[in-house]
Amino acid sequence: MDLTIMMYLIPSLIMFACGVYGFITRKNLIAILISLELMLNAVDINFVVFNRFLFPGQMEGMFFTMFAIGIAAAETALAIAIIINIFRAVKSVDIREINKMKF
């Protein structure tokens, strides 16, 4: 069975959708962070797949993915740091409690 481009893209799309869904529904900040990672990784898959299937002679997509992974790592680190701060402040990582500022 040949692997077509869609066989990669559809899972990646599902991943992205899961990420979005997870972000919107999860209550725990860490879980939300994981959802975000899902989304970013889905995008990375996109890049890689496009590179592999559409532009096989080039590496731009791959490089892009590398950088994207790096950035995602930085983001995660930063987010974790902030979550820790929050935890220190309110002793909880429940997102429902982080809505003091509104309207």
Partner 1 sequence: MDYSQFLTMGSELMLLVVFLIVFLFDTFGGAKAREYTSPLALICFSVMTVAMWLLPTNGGEAFSGMYYTSGIITVIKTILNLGVILVILQSVKWIDSEEAKIRRGEFYELMMVTLFGMYFMISARHFLLFIIGLECASLPLAAMVAFNKNQYESHEAAVKYIFTAVFSSAILLLGLSFVYALSGTGSLYFSDLATQVASGENSMLLVLAIAFVIAGFGFKLSLVPFHLWTADTYQGAPTSVTAYLSVISKGSASFAFLVVLAQVFGAAYSQVWEWMLYGLIIITITIGNLFAIRQKNMKRFMAFSSVSQAGYIMLGIISANVIGMTSMVFYILVYIFSNLGAFAVISAIENKTGKIGMDDYNGLHKTNPWLSFAMTLAMFSLAGIPPFAGFFSKILIFNGALESGSVALYVLVLIALINTIISLYYYLLVVKAMWISPEEPVVGEFRSSCYERLGMWLCIAGIVGLGIVSWFYTYIYDASMLDATTFFANLI
Partner 2 sequence: MDMTLPLLILVLPITMFLILGLCGMKMSHKLAGTLGTIGMGITAILAYTVAFTYFFSGNPDFVTAEGVRQQFEVFNYDWLAFTPTLIVQLGFLLDPISALMLVVITTISFFVHLYSLGYMHGEKGFQRYYAFLSLFTFSMLGLVVATNIFQMYIFWELVGVSSYLLIGFFYTLPSAVAASKKAFIVTRFADLGFLIGILLLSFFTDTFNFVELTSNPGTTISTLSAGGTFMGCSVVTWALCLIFMGGMGKSAMMPLHIWLPDAMEGPTPVSALIHAATMVVAGVYLIARMFPVYCLDEASMDFIVIIGAITAFYAAVVACAQIDIKRVLAFSTISQIAFMMVSIGAARPELHEGLGYMSGMFHLFTHAMFKALLFLGAGALIHAVHSNNYTDMGGLRKYMPITHWTFLIGCLAIAGIPPFSGFFSKDEMLTAMYDNSMFLGVWMTMVAGLTAFYMFRLYYMIFWWEENPHYKDHKPHDSSWTMSLPLIILAVVSCVSGFIPFGHFVTWNGEPYDIHLKMSVAITSIVVAVVAIALATVLYRKKNDVPAKMANSVKWLWTAANRRFYWDEIYMFVTHKIIFNIICKSIAWFDRHIIDGTMDMFAKVTQKVSYAIRGLQSGSIQTYVLWYFAGAILLGLVVWMMVI
Binding site for partner 2 (CB under 8 A): 20, 23-25, 32, 95-96, 98-103
Q: Nearer Cβ to partner 1, position 1 or 35? A: 35
Please tell me the distance from the alpha carbon of residue 19 to that of residue 33, in angstroms, as a whole number.
9
Supply the minimum distance, in Å, between the C-beta of residue 78 and partner 1: 5
**Residue 83 binds which entry of partner 2, partner 1, none, with Cβ cut-offs from 5 to 8 Å by kind?**
partner 1
Please tell me the distance from the alpha carbon of residue 77 to that of residue 57, in angstroms, as a whole number.
34
**Residue 7 binds which entry of partner 2, partner 1, none, with Cβ cut-offs from 5 to 8 Å by kind?**
none
